[in-house]
Chains A and B, each alone.
Chain A
Amino acid sequence: MSSFKIFDIAGSGMNAQNLRMNVVASNLANVDAVSSSIDETYKARQPVFKAVFDQANLRSPAVGVQMAGVVESQAPLVREYAPQHALADKDGYIYRPNVSVVEEMANMISASRAYQNNVEVVNATRQMLSATINIGR
């Protein structure tokens, strides 16, 4: 029965949004992770999603979602002059991650709303199916 695919689709959506939440959490957790060189500094990450078509039947209207990968932000790191800092380089600079807290908060709300949408889909489908099971009773 085709309706069971909806659980897979919504499940893939929930999974993808959950991964996005994880990425947001690591961005926010590392917001103050300073370091003494550009290469060692944490860079904000963003997940990229891609649609997953049913491989057994490419014409199927059911399309799930999955994470295609994680890209690191290309925004410039914040270079700060702090010669007293324990991690300061030889010129007295430390590097702060390019995480934008405001952006991450907005991202977090977006992810949690999208997650809730998928939960709603699961709930509605569950009700539809349980009504179908009880047909004629």
Chain B
Amino acid sequence: MKLDDVFGIHEQALRLRGQRSEVLASNLANADTPGYKARDFDFQAMLRKEMQPPVRLASTHSGHIKTDSAVVASTQMGYRIPQQPSLDGNTVEVEREQTEFSANAMRYQASLRFLDGRIKGLMLAIKGNG
């Protein structure tokens, strides 16, 4: 067993949850900005993509721009379809963003709990029962 595999899916899940809370926080902060479009990304699709072995362009020159798969690119972000569009072009629906934010925070804590369990298991294996 490689040490990298210990955390399994939870490491990526935690990182994506963190990024998603950033997006949702931006939506909530811009709840009154005219013309602002609420954004989000498909968590499941992103996680599936993260779990696949990354396909990267070989960088053969120091000037090549590094592709960082860990960051959700703006191309993977979607715009929310509002239930009730407002006159000023803002598509943030505060109630929805709030529930999404707290659900996301909850799931972040769940991923953390899983990671915590793995770490505790490892500690037990290292220290023994003494």
How many chain B residues touch the partner (CB < 8 A)? Answer: 35
Contact bitstring A94-137, B, C-beta under 8 A = 1, else 0: 00000000000000001101100110110011011001100110
Q: In the complex, what residues of B have CB within 8 A of residue A131's CB?
A: 109, 112
Contact A121-B32, Cβ < 8 Å, known A61-B19, A61-B72: no
Q: Is chain B's binding surface mostly helix, strand, loop or mixed?
A: helix
Indicate whether B73 reaches chain A with its CB closer than 8 angstroms: yes
When each residue 88-104 of chain B gets 1 if its CB lies under 8 Å from chain A and 0 otherwise, what string results? Answer: 00000010001001100
In the complex, per-residue mask of B25-51: 1 if CB is within 8 Å of any chain A CB, else 0: 110111111101001010000000000
A136 contacts across to B, CB distance below 8 A = 115-116, 119-120, 123
With both beta carbons as reference points, the residue of chain A lying nearest to B23 in the complex is identified as A61
Q: Does A24 contact B (CB under 8 A)?
A: no
Query: Please, which residue of chain B has its CB at the minimum distance from the CB of A11?
Result: B29
Chain B residues with CB under 8 A of A120: 98, 101
**A113 to chain B: which residues have CB within 8 Å?**
94
- Choose among A2, A48, A59, A124 the residue with the greatest number of B CB atoms under 10 Å from its CB: A124
Q: Does A23 contact B (CB under 8 A)?
A: no
Contact count A vs B, C-beta below 8 Å: 110
- The smallest beta-carbon distance between B46 and chain A, in angstroms, is 12
From A35-43, A62-70, A74-82, A85-93, give the one contacting chain B.
A62-70
For B43-65 the 0/1 string (1 means CB < 8 A from A) is 00000000000000000000000
Q: How many angstroms from the CA of A125 to the CA of B25 in the assembled complex?
A: 10
B83 close to chain A: CB less than 8 A: no
A6 near B119 (CB under 8 angstroms)? no
Q: Is the CB of A62 within 8 A of B31?
A: no
B15 to chain A, nearest CB (A): 8
The answer to whether A9 touches B29 (Cβ under 8 A) is: yes
| Distance A50 CA – B33 CA, assembled complex (angstroms) | 5
* Cross-chain contact A6 with B25 (CB below 8 angstroms): yes
Pull 21 A–B residue pairs with CB atoms less than 8 Å apart, ordered by A.
Answer: A5-B22, A9-B25, A13-B29, A16-B29, A49-B32, A51-B30, A61-B39, A61-B72, A63-B39, A64-B29, A118-B29, A120-B98, A121-B28, A121-B101, A125-B105, A127-B109, A131-B109, A132-B112, A136-B116, A136-B119, A136-B123
7 closest Cβ pairs, A-B complex: A13-B29, A136-B119, A63-B26, A49-B33, A59-B74, A61-B23, A124-B105
| Chain A interfacial positions (CB closer than 8 Å to B) | 1-3, 5-6, 9-10, 12-13, 16-17, 20, 48-51, 59-65, 110-111, 113-114, 117-118, 120-121, 124-125, 127-128, 131-132, 135-136
